[in-house]
């Protein structure tokens, strides 16, 4: 029941059921993993890490929990530790979702500032799944940080299309910024206006407004 509620996004109820399950079976790796996911979704990252680490202690071959643990470590800014865990995940050839691990590895390296290796990890993820919104966005942002603006513009424009139903504002903003770097002012203005129109309360909306004043 807790797992079903987690999948439906009912996090308070999911937490209640999973805590009850933990009392009944404290050494169940799946309960520990799902508790970690609930706490992650509630942005209780330290607590999430504890449960996910416990899941791995119970079953060191539980690769999904290790991948989730690494994702939490990224939020805790423990990038080197996350990378070490993710290398174990990518080495597990039985893991059925390698793209997820590669995206997390790319994210860890991107946030660490290792943009070249992040780009390679994200390109590998996109070879497996071209429809991955987050991978496409981070791939474009890595190219942007490396000064490869033409390739970045293409990647970020693709990300805008892939992420259009997710409520994710970042691709619009960085697509606009990239077009501005390329001297394509009209395209840049369009993208910044999209940020304000579609994501008026987002973290990039005010930045987009400021840049629009400069562009116009």
Q: Give the chain's mean pLDDT.
A: 95
Note the pLDDT of residue 80.
98
- Please give the full DSSP string across 65-103, using - where no structure is assigned: HHHHHHHHHHHTT-HHHHHHHHHHHHH-TT-S-HHHHHH
- Cβ contact 216:190 at 8 Å: no
Nearest to 68 by CA among 76, 156, 193, 135: 76
DSSP secondary structure string for all residues of 13-41: HHHHHHHHHHHH-TT-HHHHHHHHHHHHH
3-class SS of residue 126: helix
Q: What is the DSSP letter of 202?
A: S
DSSP code, position 114: -
Query: CA dihedral defined by 85, 86, 89, 95, rounded to 10 degrees?
Result: 140
- Least Cα distance to 136 among 161, 159, 164 occurs for 159
Distance CA 152, CA 160 (A): 12
How many beta carbons lie within 10 A of that of residue 68, not counting itself? 26
Q: pLDDT band at 199, cuts 50/70/90?
A: confident
pLDDT in tens, 70-113: 999 999 999 999 999 999 999 999 999 999 999 999 999 999 99
Q: Is the distance from CB of 49 to CB of 19 less than 8 angstroms?
A: no
Predicted local distance difference test score (pLDDT) of residue 186 = 93
pLDDT for 191: 94
The band of 16, judged by pLDDT with boundaries at 50, 70 and 90, is very high
Residues near 141 by beta carbon (within 8 Å), at least 6 away in sequence: 110, 152, 156, 170, 174
């Amino acid at each position: 029941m807790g797992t079903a509620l987690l999948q439906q996004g009912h996090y308070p109820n999911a937490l209640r059921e999973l805590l009850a399950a933990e009392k009944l079976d404290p050494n169940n790796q799946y309960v520990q993993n799902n508790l970690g996911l609930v706490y992650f979704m509630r942005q209780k990252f330290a607590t999430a890490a504890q449960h996910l680490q416990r899941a791995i202690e119970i079953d060191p071959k539980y690769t999904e929990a290790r991948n989730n643990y690494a994702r939490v470590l990224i939020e805790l800014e423990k990038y080197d530790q996350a990378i070490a865990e993710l290398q174990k995940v990518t080495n597990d050839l039985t893991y059925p979702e390698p793209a997820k691990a590669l995206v997390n590895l790319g994210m860890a390296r991107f946030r660490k500032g290792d943009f070249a290796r992040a780009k390679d990890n994200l390109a590998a993820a996109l070879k497996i799944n071209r429809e991955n919104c987050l991978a496409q966005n981070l791939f474009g942002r890595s190219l942007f940080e490396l000064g490869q603006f033409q390739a970045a513009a293409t990647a970020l424009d693709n990300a805008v299309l892939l992420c259009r139903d997710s409520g994710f504002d970042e691709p619009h903003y960085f697509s606009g910024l990239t077009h501005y770097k390329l001297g394509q002012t009209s395209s840049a203005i369009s993208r910044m206006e999209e940020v304000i129109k579609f994501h008026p309360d987002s973290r990039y909306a005010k930045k987009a407004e400021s840049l629009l004043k400069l562009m116009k």
